[in-house]
């Protein structure tokens, strides 16, 4: 009986957390962005060709097709990109942008950014 009560309590806490997440207007993440190019490979993880002029990006866990607003913390510039690849695979980095995305944010190399994912 105690196990059943514990299982119900855990389930209620889990359902409450899911409901809170679903009701939130967006999810945010912050960290380091970097740039990737066609030298990373001819195709992205979802099968598209790498196009340096496209506003696309690589993220480790977000579903392909997710649109993310990326904001450069230093200058306030922001751009919406579509996730179509996996990465970055460098510790501490949260997103890899195409050169077009990095240009729109006003950086070359790496930059501190925030990501806003709208459901």
Confidence category of residue 25, pLDDT binned at 50, 70, 90: low
Each residue's pLDDT tens digit, 60-102? 999 999 999 999 999 999 999 999 999 999 999 999 999 999 9
Architecture of domain 26-117: Beta Barrel (2.40)
pTM of the predicted structure, to 2 decimals: 0.75
Highest mean pLDDT (candidates 15-24, 34-43, 76-85): 76-85
73 Cα distance to chain centroid: 16
pLDDT of 4 over the 80 cut:
no
Sequential DSSP letters for 36-99: --GGG-SB-TTSPBP-TTS-EEE-SSSPTT-EEEEEETTT--EEEEEEEE----STTEEEEE-H
Average pLDDT over residues 42-65: 91
Give the lowest-confidence range in 24-28, 49-53, 86-90: 24-28
Q: Where are the domains of the chain?
A: 26-117
């Amino acid at each position: 009986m105690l196990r059943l009560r514990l299982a119900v309590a855990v389930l209620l806490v889990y359902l409450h957390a899911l409901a809170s997440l679903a009701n939130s207007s967006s999810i945010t993440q912050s960290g380091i962005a970097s740039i990737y190019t066609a030298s990373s490979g001819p195709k992205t993880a979802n099968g598209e060709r790498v196009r340096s002029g496209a506003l696309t990006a690589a993220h480790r866990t977000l579903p392909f097709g997710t649109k993310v607003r990326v904001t450069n913390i230093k200058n306030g510039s922001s751009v919406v990109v579509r996730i179509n690849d996996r990465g970055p695979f460098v510790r501490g980095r949260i997103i890899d942008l195409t050169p077009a995305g990095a240009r729109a944010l006003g950086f070359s190399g790496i930059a501190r950014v925030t990501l806003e994912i709208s459901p």
